Copies of this chain bind each other. A is one copy, B any other.
Amino acid sequence: MEFKVNSKELEKLLTKIIPAVPTRTPMPILENFLFDIKDGSLTIHATDLEISLKSAMNIISEENAQLVVPAKLLYDIVRSLGDTQILFEIASNGKLNLKTDSGEYTLSYLDSEDFPDIPEFPSASEENEDINEFQLSGSELKTAFGLTAFAMSKEEMRPAMMGTLIKFTPEGLRFVATDGHRLVNYLKKNIVLEITDQYIIPEKAISVLLKILDEKEVKISLSKTHVSFSLSDIELITRLIGQKYPDYESVIPLENELSLKIKTKELHNAIKRMMLFSPSNSRRVKFSVSDNNLEISAEDLDLGSHAKESIMCEYSGESLDIGFNSAYVNDVLGHLGSEEEIIFKLHSSTKAVIINPREEKENKELMMLLMPVRLNS
């Protein structure tokens, strides 16, 4: 059987699917695309068994077929062809021929029966599952994941924290990520379902979404075990992390009465310089807060180097010294780069610090939290 596609259209589709193809896997068959040709449509699937991506394009084909095609090789060939028509011929000897005006390229394909089961979203009828659905724009979803994802844990010891929590509340939809050292809590106010369910989206799905999301509307469907993100031309399905998310709310201090207002960019530039002087193990930077002045300093005893800078700020509380991991401060400030000014809410040198944008946005609330580190002196 055979069908024709335009190389550029196929390239566009493969570019969206290929992020689900694992680069290192103990199951080499996952390094393939699954082609499903049915009733004049070519659907292409890829999966790493945790997430799956699929997308379809119309083709003219009399017959139906399924086949498993080497993902990277096919993608590289299609990308290298320029803008041309490709005739696909599926031979019965396990060979797939691609023909263009000037060349002919032959790959081996595998039988679709060898391809493992792809994570699928359970249909509502199965097991009478509760399924929650909502929509938001791709750019809003990208903002929410973009602001929170950096704070997820990379430590396999606590699998729940290796994902981002999404939680329905009467105020809106919360996105929460933490690794125990820092925490982000982002509230998207205009999404209110009459439920209080919560779900943990794993890191891989989020990093792929951040690549493929555009400004168009996204339909999100949540079951107890899976979530589906339906974009205009592609669907991502992922298993959820089936663990209990830690009680992050108990970590958030409520009575941090000392408030320090500072220019984000000025502090961020200074922190980048302090990172050059903070020791490679503790990465400690010291904040010394006094009347309308923030002094930050770092010292690397091994290299015999140290640095300090003074930055103007608005602060009228008592003087206070507090230490942080400079890399974590840098991460937090990097994600607040669009805010001209931010507010640090402090209590003491041993208590978590809360960082908010100075200006509240309509329909959004953003809170970041940093745990202090012990100062030696």
Residues of A within 8 A of B (CB): 70, 73, 76-77, 80-82, 94-95, 102-108, 269-270, 272-273, 276-277, 303-311
Contacts and interface: CB of A to CB of B under 8 A. Distances in A.
Contacts of A106: 305-307
Contacts of A102: 270, 309-311
B310 A80 contact: no
A263 B272 CA distance: 50
Contacts of A82: 269
Contacts of A94: 304
A103 B307 contact: yes
Given A80-B272, A103-B273, A105-B307, 15 more contacts: A70-B305, A73-B303, A77-B273, A80-B269, A81-B273, A102-B309, A103-B307, A103-B309, A104-B308, A105-B273, A105-B277, A105-B305, A106-B306, A107-B304, A108-B303
A310 to B, nearest CB: 6
A103 B308 contact: yes
23 contacts: A70-B303, A76-B276, A80-B269, A80-B273, A81-B273, A102-B310, A102-B311, A103-B270, A103-B273, A103-B308, A103-B309, A103-B310, A104-B307, A104-B308, A105-B277, A105-B306, A105-B307, A106-B305, A106-B306, A106-B307, A107-B304, A108-B303, A108-B304
A59 B277 CA distance: 27
Nearest to A106: B306
A171 B95 CA distance: 56
The quantity of this chain's copies bound in the complex is 2
A114 B80 CA distance: 54
A272 B104 CA distance: 14
A103 B271 CA distance: 12
Contacts of A104: 307-309
Contacts of A308: 103-104
Nearest to A276: B76
A94 B304 CA distance: 10
A86 B95 CA distance: 68
A338 B33 CA distance: 38
Contact of A276 (B77, B270, B272, B307): B77
A20 B311 CA distance: 36
A107 B102 CA distance: 63
A277 B106 CA distance: 9
A328 to B, nearest CB: 19
A67 B276 CA distance: 21
Contacts of A306: 105-106
A308 B102 CA distance: 9
A73 to B, nearest CB: 6
Nearest to A80: B273
Contact of A95 (B73, B80, B103, B304): B304
